[in-house]
Chain A
């Protein structure tokens, strides 16, 4: 992140009646950054974005864009543009006038608008469709028009509200890479608002995971996946197995944890005082599964699924808990009902706050 942040949130709170949609959020977004707000519906991510656009005003705290307080700045005066989830294309205008709307509002001469619109149509690969009306376009094409319209004024920040939600799966993946290319080439900061963790992981430089109006964790996709800060983040981003237990002893930086309901010790490279209750989180692909071995937690394969690139099995342990195990490649998974041993390497486990 660059020295001077583009967007700064200082203890911003927004309430709707008794509901606190955004709860004391402080946040910085750098110029040229691809930032994602990720969370389930109702977590406040859309409100946060609308606060930046100026459609909502904070009840407490300050929002700064380029160091300027946005408190009294109406939406039309802010250097940010938004791509709406519904695209919100003006149905009574053709594609060129839709894209040029913001430029016309800025009072630019007709020739300059036409040149910029042509440039944008080329950028989003819609050359020759300038005279079409929005209802004559496919869903993917409308999405591109909405994007071009949001880029037209060369904003400092582009807000993308669930930009891929209306596209089918294949188009969605193509568009993800397309958005990343555009963001890289233009150097404009993008803020993506999504409930789809894949989308955020693939595209964003940094992700803020939101829950109930607060930012639960902020970091690079890798950091959030590998070192989740809470049970919620671990569960929301990808799959995770949780093991609860009490630290029995600590040796050479390794904690030996006695698992609740199991007469077994597991070893994890985590911090923890002897006698403390801990929750260990292990990703399914870091779990090991073997048919015969003395060590490891005994269990029975409940079911397994072949997905082509990965295989997944669920194993029921002696205390009744289920463990998910994912394996890449073609090696055969044990059959349903097979008695197995599951384990994980000490460095695969993370401690989550209870």
Chain B
């Protein structure tokens, strides 16, 4: 008994170490005073300071942030509409096809998604840049939003909407005043998910971005090929912190809303 519990905690420890040790190492080395990435030269925040003077990285970070904010917004609006259509419009023609198609991009290799979008943009003769990356990320993100919001809508009692209509609300009014407020936590979670997907994507962005729209992950990737600098560690640490924060907020809001609905 004692033996097996020891084995179990060892396995757990190993698993988590496997997941998080590289990240921890990266965070630790971002505070390295030495210019050499692999040699510890004492604690320092100098790389965070020099980051502020690296205009290229700052510009890319700014582009990434704007792309993530805008594409997540589009993904949330379109994805929520898709979720409502799938959950509420009964058994329209081709409903099954649509509901399986919404899941397809989740499992599609990103290289293929990126390549197909690139072909589309070239075929339509659209110059690649900020907006093409936004559209590409919105396409990917909306599927995740649709899945999250759809799951939530299925758990909502249909009679809530019927009650709203019975009390004089038009179908649109019922959606606005009852369904959407109750689905709000999942919509917010969907937004956070789409935001994270966008801000850490390299593959799709590489295919769809143009000159002047190099995102932060693309910049990091291209610089790493020339050698890892402590600055990259610093900017990665900031990125990790941001994603962790968004995840934590998302988990907390969905926990709270679950608790309020269950009672």
> Contact residues of A with B, CB < 8 Å?
53, 55, 74-76, 80-82, 84-86, 88-92, 101-102, 105-106, 135, 149, 152-153
CA distance A80 to B178 in the complex (A): 20
Which B residues lie within 8 Å of A90 (CB)?
Answer: 160, 163-164, 178
Pick the residue among B162, B168, B182 that contacts A153 (CB under 8 A): B168
In the assembled complex, the CB of B260 is this many whole angstroms from the nearest CB of chain A, namely 7
Which A residues lie within 8 Å of B173 (CB)?
Answer: 76, 105
CA distance A304 to B157 in the complex (A): 46
- Minimal Cβ-Cβ distance residue in A for B167: A102
Majority SS at the chain B contact face: helix
Q: Kindly state whether residue B165 has any CB partner on chain A within 8 Å.
A: yes
- Minimal Cβ-Cβ distance residue in A for B173: A105
> Contact residues of B with A, CB < 8 Å?
157, 159-160, 162-171, 173, 177-178, 181-182, 260-261, 263
Also in contact, A105 and B169, with CB within 8 A (given A91-B260, A91-B261): yes
Pick the residue among A81, A85, A86, A135 that contacts B167 (CB under 8 A): A81
Q: Indicate if the CB atoms of B168 and A86 lie closer than 8 Å.
A: no
CA distance A106 to B164 in the complex (A): 12
CB-CB nearest 9 A-B residue pairs: A102-B167, A105-B168, A135-B263, A88-B163, A88-B159, A75-B165, A84-B159, A76-B165, A82-B166
Q: Indicate if the CB atoms of A105 and B157 lie closer than 8 Å.
A: no
Which A residues lie within 8 Å of B164 (CB)?
Answer: 90, 101
Which A residues lie within 8 Å of B162 (CB)?
Answer: 53, 55, 75, 82, 84, 88
Which A residues lie within 8 Å of B157 (CB)?
Answer: 86, 88
Pick the residue among A55, A74, A92 that contacts B182 (CB under 8 A): A92
Q: Indicate if the CB atoms of B169 and A76 lie closer than 8 Å.
A: yes
Q: Indicate if the CB atoms of A76 and B168 lie closer than 8 Å.
A: yes
Pick the residue among A82, A92, A149 that contacts B181 (CB under 8 A): A92
CA distance A75 to B158 in the complex (A): 15
Which A residues lie within 8 Å of B263 (CB)?
Answer: 135
Interface CB pairs A-B, < 8 A, 20: A53-B166, A74-B171, A75-B162, A75-B166, A76-B170, A76-B173, A81-B167, A84-B162, A84-B163, A88-B159, A90-B163, A91-B260, A101-B167, A101-B169, A101-B177, A102-B168, A105-B168, A135-B260, A135-B263, A153-B167
